């Protein structure tokens, strides 16, 4: 947002950022607050879903599980960033799950694995409880995304592959 403002404070690019300010900046009773993400919604939903599914409370949680399934389904990133990913030093996003919302858009390996596990567990439930499960192709897309995050030395990136020299990493 700041870069867009420096480039042109009246630009459309800057104006498109304005509605999202409240996601990151707000004034609380003790002053200005800031966060680097727009939340942790997918992360929280995936773990809560897995926890609920490990209990004997399924019958008591049907509406909650249905909403969790809907959220997990809609949060999976369904497209890569526009443009040349290499030019922008970006990794593929398609198929991954982010930390918070699809709008966050950054592929995160551990969030993808937790989103995958929760979606897979929910797919084992009857459709009348959670609705239609995520397609096999979307599970495949997630696995492809996660495997693509493996670095040359065998470790897995959280966000992006190692691109710089070892001393910087």
| Better-scored residue on pLDDT, 33 or 114 | 114
Residue 136 vs residues 37, 50, 56, 95, 120: alpha-carbon distances, Å:
29, 20, 27, 12, 10
Query: Residue 27 corresponds to which tokens in the numbers above?
Result: 């004034």
At residue 142, what are phi and psi to the nearest 5 degrees? -65, -45
Give the confidence band of 150 by pLDDT, cuts at 50, 70, 90.
very high
Which of 91, 95, 131, 86 has its CA nearest to residue 113?
Answer: 95
* Rounded mean pLDDT, 55-61: 92
Decide: pTM greater than 0.85. Answer: no
Q: Give CA–CA dist 135/123, Å, rounded.
A: 9
Of the listed 80, 84, 110, 128, which one is catalytic? 110
Give the confidence band of 84 by pLDDT, cuts at 50, 70, 90.
very high
* 8 part of the active site: no
């Amino acid at each position: 947002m700041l870069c867009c403002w420096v480039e042109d404070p009246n630009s459309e690019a800057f104006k498109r950022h304005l509605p999202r300010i409240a996601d990151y900046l707000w004034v609380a009773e003790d002053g200005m607050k800031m966060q680097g993400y727009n939340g942790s919604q997918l992360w929280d939903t995936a773990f809560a879903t897995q926890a609920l599914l490990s209990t004997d409370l399924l019958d008591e949680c049907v509406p909650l599980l249905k909403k969790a399934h809907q959220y997990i389904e809609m949060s999976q990133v369904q497209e890569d960033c526009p443009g040349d990913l290499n030019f922008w030093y970006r990794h593929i996003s398609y198929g991954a799950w982010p930390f918070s919302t699809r709008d966050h858009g950054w592929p995160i390996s551990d969030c993808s694995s937790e989103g995958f596990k929760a979606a897979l567990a929910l797919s084992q439930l009857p459709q009348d409880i959670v609705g239609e499960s995520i397609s096999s192709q979307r599970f495949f897309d997630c696995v492809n995304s996660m495997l693509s995050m493996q670095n040359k030395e065998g470790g897995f990136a959280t966000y992006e592959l190692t691109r710089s020299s070892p001393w910087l990493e």
